[in-house]
Amino acid sequence: MAKNGILAKSNDLQTSFHANTATVITIGIDLGDRFSHCCVLGPDGEVLTEGRVRSTPEAMTRHFQQLPPCRIAIEVGGHSRWLSQLLTEWGHEVIVANPRNLRLISDGTRKSDQVDARILARLARVDPTLLSPIAHRSQKSYPDLAQLRARDLLVKSRTRLINAVRGILKAVGLRAPASGAFSFSSKVSACVPDELKPSLIPLLETIAHLNQQIGAFDRAIEHLATYKYPATIRLRQISGVGAITALQFVLTIDDPNRFLRSRAIGPYLGLAPRRHQSGNIDQQLRISKAGDKPLRSLLVQSAQYLLGRFGPDSDLKRWGVHLAKRGGKNGKKRAIVAVARKLAVLLHRLWVTGETYQPLRNSTLACAGS
Please check whether residues 71 and 101 belong to one and the same domain: yes
Residue 267 lies in a domain: yes
Please compute the mean of the pLDDT values over residues 154-175 and round it to a whole number. Answer: 95
State pTM to two decimals.
0.81
pLDDT confidence bin for 352, thresholds 50/70/90: very high
What does the pLDDT look like over 84-127, one tens digit per residue? 999 999 999 999 998 877 776 766 667 788 888 999 999 999 99
Instruction: Check whether 8 has a pLDDT greater than 60.
Output: no
Please check whether residues 98 and 151 belong to one and the same domain: no
Please check whether residues 268 and 349 belong to one and the same domain: yes
Residue 38 lies in a domain: yes
What is residue 227's DSSP assignment? I
Instruction: Check whether 7 has a pLDDT greater than 70.
Output: no
> What pLDDT does residue 172 have?
92
> What pLDDT does residue 310 have?
92
Question: What gap in Å lies between CA 360 and CA 339, rounded to an integer?
Answer: 15
Question: What gap in Å lies between CA 274 and CA 289, rounded to an integer?
Answer: 9
Please check whether residues 250 and 354 belong to one and the same domain: yes
Please check whether residues 307 and 362 belong to one and the same domain: yes
Question: What gap in Å lies between CA 344 and CA 300, rounded to an integer?
Answer: 10
Please check whether residues 221 and 327 belong to one and the same domain: no
Please check whether residues 32 and 62 belong to one and the same domain: yes
Please check whether residues 147 and 101 belong to one and the same domain: no
* Longest CA pairwise span in the chain (Å): 80
Mark which of 107, 131, 155 sits at the end of a domain. 131
Mark which of 131, 156, 188 sits at the end of a domain. 131
Mean pLDDT of the residues in the chain: 88
Question: What gap in Å lies between CA 253 and CA 325, rounded to an integer?
Answer: 32
Residue 2 lies in a domain: no
Please check whether residues 162 and 92 belong to one and the same domain: no
> What pLDDT does residue 154 have?
97
Residue 6 lies in a domain: no
Please check whether residues 105 and 154 belong to one and the same domain: no
What does the pLDDT look like over 228-285, one tens digit per residue? 999 999 999 999 999 999 999 999 998 999 899 999 999 999 998 887 767 777 676 7
Please check whether residues 73 and 39 belong to one and the same domain: yes
What does the pLDDT look like over 60-83, one tens digit per residue? 999 999 899 999 999 888 899 999
Instruction: Check whether 175 has a pLDDT greater than 60.
Output: yes
Please compute the mean of the pLDDT values over residues 120-137 and round it to a whole number. Answer: 88
> What pLDDT does residue 14 have?
53
Residue 238 lies in a domain: no
Instruction: Check whether 221 has a pLDDT greater than 50.
Output: yes
Residue 137 lies in a domain: no
> What pLDDT does residue 287 have?
84
Residue 154 lies in a domain: yes
Please compute the mean of the pLDDT values over residues 11-21 and round it to a whole number. Answer: 50
Sequence-separated contacts (24+) of 134-142 with Cβ below 8 Å: 134/76, 134/96, 134/97, 134/98, 135/96, 135/254, 135/258, 136/76, 136/80, 136/81, 136/84, 136/85, 136/96, 137/251, 137/252, 137/254, 138/254, 139/85, 141/251, 141/254, 142/81
More confident residue, 115 or 368: 115
Query: What's the CATH number where 120 sits?
Result: 3.30.420.40
Structural domain including 166 reads 142-228
Residue 56 lies in a domain: yes
Please compute the mean of the pLDDT values over residues 344-368 and round it to a whole number. Answer: 87
- The structural domain count of the chain equals 3
Instruction: Check whether 137 has a pLDDT greater than 90.
Output: no
> What pLDDT does residue 242 have?
95
Q: Which residues are CB-contacts of 232 (< 8 A; sequence separation ≥ 6)?
A: 225, 226, 243, 246, 247, 249, 250
> In this structure, which amino acid lies at residue 28?
G
pLDDT confidence bin for 11, thresholds 50/70/90: very low
Please check whether residues 23 and 108 belong to one and the same domain: yes
> What pLDDT does residue 110 have?
72
Question: What gap in Å lies between CA 239 and CA 314, rounded to an integer?
Answer: 9
> What pLDDT does residue 21 have?
46
Mark which of 83, 106, 131 sits at the end of a domain. 131
Q: Which residues are CB-contacts of 79 (< 8 A; sequence separation ≥ 6)?
A: 31, 33, 36, 55
